[in-house]
């Protein structure tokens, strides 16, 4: 059995019903892609992108065709999205199925006054937007619908937790999930940093600030960009400078004993001068050349792949992540690889 087949069989036999309004979409898709039999019973309005991106593997059954009561007979899990619709009738119906794991997703935590919310406004509350972008421009979100996706993962997690609990107790339960908390959980730094140091993170663009100075994270090269930073890792710095020296372009970097200095405590003007030397070297080489050196020599550098290039990257191809459809290549491959017993990765 292939890794992909294994991944799509983990939840075989599980029956899931989904009432979707963005917060549970990806959660339903995750369960479907892991082998559950997932019926999408309500979606609200659907765009082509939403359907293609977040409804893979789910069977569509509009609410008008089969009553929810009928769909819930024999169901293990109900994903109940209440971003806009409070669905007051569903609780009693779900409660009449004591085995059912009933996951209720709301934008704001349940019990608090409901508020209209979208991916953008949820992301705004996470503390992440405040630190994405540059100081001179407005805050930016992470690309795509990350607040919805993060909530969807937590919805799937909550459903699986409910199933583990059911295996012990013999009963399902009603599990509220908050999108506000789901997206805030992704921000592991800003609140705790403020709470313990009083510091508030700011937008610093592509600069990586460590100690008294900042270093670049993004560099132009011959055919695009790479990401790499001059950090306090002597072995990595020696490995980069060695190749630069072989090409006769290491300049003053060749004479630096990296173990004897701390880049984080070095004067910004000196760092900028060193970075100019590195930048000139990177500019002469392609992403592939620099990426190959990094893989072989441990530079910690990575090419920056354009979105359109990702589906055809050798790694994505090898792992079967994208599936060709008539319209586009979609992320319908396994969520992760599964290597069965008796086999190694």
Partner 1 sequence: MTGALHGLKIADFSWVGAGPRATKDLADNGATVVKIESARRLDLGRRSPPFAKGQSKNHDASLFFAQTNTSKKSVTINLSDPAGVEVAKRLVAWADVVVENFGPGYMDRIGLGYETLQQIRPGIILASVSVAGRTGPMAGFRGYGNIAAAQSGHADMTGWPGTEPHMPPLAYGDVVAPMFLTVAILSALEARDRTGQGCHVDVSQIESMVHVAGDLFAGMPEEKPANDDPVMAPHGVFPCAGEDAWIAIACEDDSQWRALCAVLGAGDLATRHPDAAARRAAAPVLSQALSDLTAARDGATLEQALAAAGVPASLVLDGKGVAESTALQAAGHFAPTDHPVIGPARMPAPPYDLPDTPVAITASPCLGQHNAEVFAEIGLSADDIARLTKEGALA
Rounded to the nearest whole angstrom, what is the least distance from the CB of residue 283 to partner 1 in the complex? Answer: 13
304 interacts with partner 1 by CB under 8 A = yes
282 interacts with partner 1 by CB under 8 A = no
Q: How is residue 321 written in tokens?
A: 């992540």
175 interacts with partner 1 by CB under 8 A = yes
Report the site for partner 1 in 316-335 (rule: CB under 8 A). 316, 318-319, 321-322, 328-331, 335
**Given 19, 24, 79, 156, the residue binding partner 1 (CB under 8 A):** 156
For residue 79, the surrounding DSSP H or E stretch is: strand 77-81
Distances (CA, A) of 208 to 22, 215, 228, 268: 34, 5, 10, 12
Count CB-CB contacts under 10 A for residue 61. Answer: 17
Candidate ranges 63-71, 130-138, 243-251, 257-265; the one touching partner 1 (CB under 8 A): 130-138
Check if the beta carbon of residue 58 is closer than 8 Å to that of residue 40: yes
Report the site for partner 1 in 47-76 (rule: CB under 8 A). 47-50, 52-54
Phi, psi of 71 (to 5 degrees): -65, -35
Report the site for partner 1 in 236-255 (rule: CB under 8 A). none
Report the site for partner 1 in 29-48 (rule: CB under 8 A). 30, 34, 47-48
SS3 readout for 121-171? HHHHHCCCHHHCCCCCCCCCCCCCCHHHHHHHHHHHHHHHHHHHHHHHHCC
Rounded to the nearest whole angstrom, what is the least distance from the CB of residue 234 to partner 1 in the complex? Answer: 16
Q: Given the complex with partner 1, which of 115 and 284 has the nearer CB atom?
A: 115
181 interacts with partner 1 by CB under 8 A = yes
- Dihedral sign (CA 64, 52, 102, 89): negative
279 interacts with partner 1 by CB under 8 A = no
340 interacts with partner 1 by CB under 8 A = yes
Q: Given the complex with partner 1, which of 61 and 302 has the nearer CB atom?
A: 302
217 interacts with partner 1 by CB under 8 A = yes
Candidate ranges 225-233, 240-248, 258-266, 272-280; the one touching partner 1 (CB under 8 A): 225-233
Closest CA to 71 of 32, 42, 107: 42
206 interacts with partner 1 by CB under 8 A = yes
Check if the beta carbon of residue 162 is closer than 8 Å to that of residue 94: no
């Amino acid at each position: 059995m292939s890794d992909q087949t294994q991944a799509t069989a983990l939840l075989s036999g599980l029956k899931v019903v989904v009432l979707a309004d963005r917060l549970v979409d990806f959660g339903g898709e995750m369960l479907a892609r892991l082998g559950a039999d997932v019926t999408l019973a309500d979606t609200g309005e659907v765009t082509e992108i939403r359907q293609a991106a977040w409804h893979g593997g789910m069977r569509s059954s509009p609410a008008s065709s089969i009553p929810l009561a009928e769909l819930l007979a024999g169901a293990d899990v109900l994903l109940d999205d209440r971003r806009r619709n409070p669905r007051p009738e569903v609780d009693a119906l779900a409660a009449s199925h004591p085995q059912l794991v009933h996951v209720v997703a709301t934008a704001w935590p349940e019990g608090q006054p409901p508020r209209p919310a979208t991916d953008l406004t949820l992301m705004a509350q996470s503390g992440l937007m405040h630190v994405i972008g540059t100081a001179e421009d407005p805050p930016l979100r992470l690309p795509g619908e990350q607040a919805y996706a993060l909530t969807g993962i937590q919805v799937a997690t909550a459903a699986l937790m409910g199933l583990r609990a059911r295996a012990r107790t013999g009963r399902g339960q009603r599990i509220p999930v908050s999108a506000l908390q789901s997206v805030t959980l992704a921000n592991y730094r800003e609140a705790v940093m403020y709470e313990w140091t009083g510091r508030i993170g700011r937008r610093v663009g592509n600069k990586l600030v460590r100690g008294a100075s900042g270093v670049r994270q993004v560099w132009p090269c011959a055919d695009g960009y790479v990401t790499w930073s001059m950090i306090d890792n002597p072995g990595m710095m020696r490995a980069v400078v060695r190749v630069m020296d072989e090409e006769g372009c290491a300049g003053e970097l060749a004479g630096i004993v990296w173990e004897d200095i701390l880049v984080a405590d070095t004067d910004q003007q000196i760092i900028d001068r060193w970075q100019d030397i590195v930048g000139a070297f990177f500019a002469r080489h392609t992403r592939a050349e620099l990426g190959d050196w990094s893989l072989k020599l441990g530079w910690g550098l990575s090419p920056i792949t354009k979105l359109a290039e990702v589906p055809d990257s050798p790694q994505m191809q090898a792992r079967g992540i994208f599936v060709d459809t008539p319209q586009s290549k979609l992320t319908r491959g396994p969520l992760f690889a599964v290597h069965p017993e008796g086999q190694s990765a």
